[in-house]
Amino acid sequence: MTKRLRCPRCGGTRAWMIRGEKRRCTRCRYDWRPGLPLWLTRHQWGALLRWQLRGLRAAAIARECGVERKRVLRALLYVRAAMLRAVPPVFHGTVEVDETYLGGRWRNWHRGRRIRGSRRGRGTSTTQVVGILCRDGQVWAQVVPDLTAPRLLALIRHQVQPGSVVCTDALRLYTGMAAKGYVHRLVHHDHGEFQSRHGAHINGLEGFWGYLKRWLAAKGGIRREWLPLYLAE
């Protein structure tokens, strides 16, 4: 049963929609903007999830489902929050670990940020993300405030079972993984190496980073505080 809107001034339950999704009470003629409860039917939820999986933006999903854009944005927020809580099980076997930096193209930055400049790699002002890929096709990724050796090792110990084979690049922050009970395989990208003599590589995770950046670019830019939700999706 759908809950009816009530006027915040007189408590009336009869109103009509006016400009900007505002309502006008038929009793006291008071204009107010109600909250955005979802109020989506099962058919609308199914259509919303179907078009989301196809990669449509919120405005296009709103047109296809016949729902206000703001309500679609709120529904997608709930869906991504549920995805954020769906953490994959601890990985074992052969895994790939790598980091990337998300922050948009230089020409799209604000003029003040371009004047201050930004370094590449560690110490950059862009958002830093660490990812772990299991060879069975699952990926776990998380936004980190800074990249340090203790933080990286803590994330690996949280998501990778000891005794597993961990493939990384030659970043010095990964030093000490063998002492934590892992078989550490290095890939020296600086030497033009993309697969070591042991058959180790991180090409799967590199491909995931490329897909992630193209997908985020198609969104037209998002706020940094919402990045963990989009990363979970």
- Per-residue pLDDT reduced to its tens digit, 149-168: 889 999 999 999 999 999 98
- The pLDDT, as a whole number, for residue 5 is 74
Q: Which residue has the higher pLDDT, 223 or 115?
A: 223
Range 139-157 average pLDDT: 90
Q: How many CA atoms lie within 13 A of 137 on its CB side?
A: 0
Range 186-201 average pLDDT: 74
Q: What is the DSSP code (8-state) at residue 87?
A: P
Which of 32-41, 104-113, 199-208 is predicted with the least confidence, judged by mean pLDDT?
104-113
Q: Name the band, by pLDDT with cuts 50, 70 and 90, for residue 117.
A: low
Helix (H) or strand (E) holding 96: strand 94-102
Which of 18-22, 41-45, 62-66, 73-77 is predicted with the least confidence, judged by mean pLDDT?
18-22
Q: Could you tell me the sign of the dihedral formed by the alpha carbons of 46, 51, 57, 59, in that order?
A: negative
Q: How many CA atoms lie within 13 A of 5 on its CB side?
A: 22
pTM, two decimals, is: 0.71
Residue 170 and residue 144 in contact, taking contact as beta carbons nearer than 8 Å: no
Residue 25 above 80 pLDDT?
yes
